[in-house]
Structures are given as structure tokens and as C-alpha cells.
Homo-oligomer: A and B are copies of this chain.
């Protein structure tokens, strides 16, 4: 009992008792990193938990930092990596193990579906959406369903089975970004499709099932609910204030400064004010632009830099945590060029969405975004200095 600390009565806070909580902070750190992170956050004062609302979506978040204050906060999680397989279908020489490639950047003179590529894109064998000529609807009283029309693709980052984005040459990261743009533009021409999402799952806790680094693309025949929420908020703001809510947020964040992590000539990396999880991070172009498909050639190196430095900050600072990122871009056919503003959202899997989050739609975040931003800012400044 002494070991855990007894309850002191009254309204004492910040006890280091084991909690029975909802959102459990997990940093897959070794002890050294854990000490660094813990020392960093110990400077923070205790306070009443706060409700914050995202200006764009109206999403609610409870920022309750005491939950992260217990001794085992940063060390409890065991590392759960993606199982290595005897034969990797994404490695060079195994091209016949995947469906035929739909795009590859490869050495002159090499044949499709043979080695010689440095980025390779193939259809996802386990597609949740399929391109079929005629989508059908099926009605049974009020039970209604329709064929899930769309395309699912895998974008293999490089021939190297082990090299995640932080470890690749910058030039290769630019090639990955180029493959995103090329496939985005390809699907944007298909009149059957409404939306294209490019994403990356890293680590088994974040849903990755193959180790070889790869991004994914989902091109679907409906406007996903997340975008309906964003667009409703963006439209509301535009009608009231006459400007793009994303541009406004960028400007507000740059003036406030506390949540800005990194900037280069074209992109700002910041922790959103109503961050859903510890270390949630957004990468946003400062040029107002609704569609990721309109990324300009001269913006590509800056985007690759912002993306790689951010991922390197996570890799070094948080000991390669699992994460998901996705690129939010305007629906293909909606007339929202003045309202929407494409950006990337990165959500590390350092906490578990449990009964409260599932039951209410409110997220509980145990780390203030101001603190996660300061931590990552310091890390990334070091990385950028080393790389320069």
C-alpha cells in the first residue's frame, strides 16, 4: 500500500495511484526515453480537466492531464511489432505475389512486375471497396445496402523491407509523395468516385499487418462522414466570417505559437488545439488549396521535408510509436474550393479509445497539445539541424 500511495482524503489531486480509467496513455518507450518524456511533463502544473471544441468539426475533447501522471504511464506498454513473414510479397523478386502493378517508378529497360522499381503501387488483395462497372442496391424493407464501389491500393515505400520513412533518403520520400499525387489524380478522373484518401498505418497496434513499409489509398463512391462534418463546419465559418476556417486556424496557431512544431517555406506542422490523442499532429500547406491533387511541383520537396521530419521526431522522441496518418482532401465533385483546405492528420496510437470514447464521441486526451508540441518542436529542431 505504501508503494502505491494511500488516498489522502478531500480533493487532493495528482496522486500516483493506479487509475481505473478510460483512456490509457501508452508510450512504447524504453526506460531512457520514458525518463526524458516524464521529466519533460513533470514541469506541468495540475489543473481542472478542460473541455475543448475543435473549431472546424465541432468535435469535443476532454484534456485531463492527471491521468498521465502515474509512475507507469510511459513504460507499461510492450512493443508489439508486425510479425515478420518468411516471404514478403512487397520485396523485390516477389512481384508475382501481388496483383499486377498499376504504377511503378522503375529503371529504364526493366519490365513491369519485375525488380528494378523504387516505388511500386498495386491493388490491395483484400479490398473493402471494388471497382465494378455497375453498382447494385439491395433493399429488404428498411434494411438497405449497396455494393461498396471503389479502389484500394497499396503504395510500397521502397524496395527496402526495413526502411520506414524516417530512415529513407529525402529524395525517396519525395518519390513517395509523387506516387500519392499520381494515384490521387488518376482516381480523381473516375466519374464513379467521390473521394480519395491516402493513408499510412504503422505498427500492429495501429492496424498494420505487413511489415514492409507501405501507404494505402482508398478511392470511394461516397463522401465519407468525416468530410461532411468538416465541410459543415467550414461552410458555417465561411458564411459567418467570410474566410477559410483552415486558413484562419493556421494564422491563429502561428500567432499563438505554443502549438507550432515546425515550419518551412510552404508548410506548418502543429498540434491542433483540440487534439484527440497525445501527440496528434497536423501538417498543413499555408497556400489555400482544397485538393491534395493540386499539390504543385515546387511544394513537393517542402511537403516531403515536413512529413519526414515529423515522422523522425516521433521515431526518435517517442521510440518509434505506432501511428496512423491520412491526408484529408476535398471531395472530388463538391464545389468547396473556397471552403476546404487539404492537410495531413497524424494520430499516434499511444492511448486506447475505450467505452467512454465509443459511447459518447468525446475523446479524452491525457497530454496537453501545448506540451506535446513543445516536446516534438525540440526534437525536430535537433533533427533538422543534423540534416542541414
Contacts and interface: CB of A to CB of B under 8 A. Distances in A.
A15 B96 CA distance: 14
Contact of A207 (B99, B195, B256, B355): B355
Contacts of A347: 358
A126 B12 CA distance: 11
Interface in A11-69: 15, 17-24, 48-53, 55, 58-60, 62-64, 66-67
A147 B49 contact: yes
Nearest to A325: B355
A214 interface: yes
Interface in A56-98: 58-60, 62-64, 66-67, 70, 76, 78, 80, 83, 85-87, 89-90, 94, 96-98
A19 B197 CA distance: 18
A51 B147 contact: yes
A225 B145 contact: no
Contacts of A249: 142
Interface in A131-150: 132, 138, 140-148
B130 A24 contact: no
A170 to B, nearest CB: 23
A146 B51 contact: yes
B24 A207 contact: yes
Contacts of A364: 128
A209 interface: yes
Contacts of A227: 360
Nearest to A60: B225
Interface string A288-311: 000000000000000000000000
A113 to B, nearest CB: 10
Interface string A1-19: 1011011010000010111
Contacts of A89: 4, 17-18
A205 interface: yes
A103 interface: no
A193 interface: no
A226 interface: yes
Given A21-B126, A129-B62, A361-B229, A324 B355 contact: yes
A359 B86 contact: no
Interface in A317-336: 324-326, 328
Contact of A127 (B64, B78, B154): B64
Contacts of A9: 99-100
Interface of A: 1, 3-4, 6-7, 9, 15, 17-24, 48-53, 55, 58-60, 62-64, 66-67, 70, 76, 78, 80, 83, 85-87, 89-90, 94, 96-100, 124-130, 132, 138, 140-148, 154, 195, 197, 199-201, 204-210, 214, 216, 218, 220, 222, 224-227, 229, 248-249, 252, 255-256, 273, 324-326, 328, 345, 347, 352-356, 358-362, 364
15 contacts: A4-B87, A20-B125, A48-B132, A50-B146, A50-B148, A51-B146, A51-B222, A52-B145, A62-B129, A64-B127, A142-B248, A143-B273, A206-B352, A224-B362, A324-B359
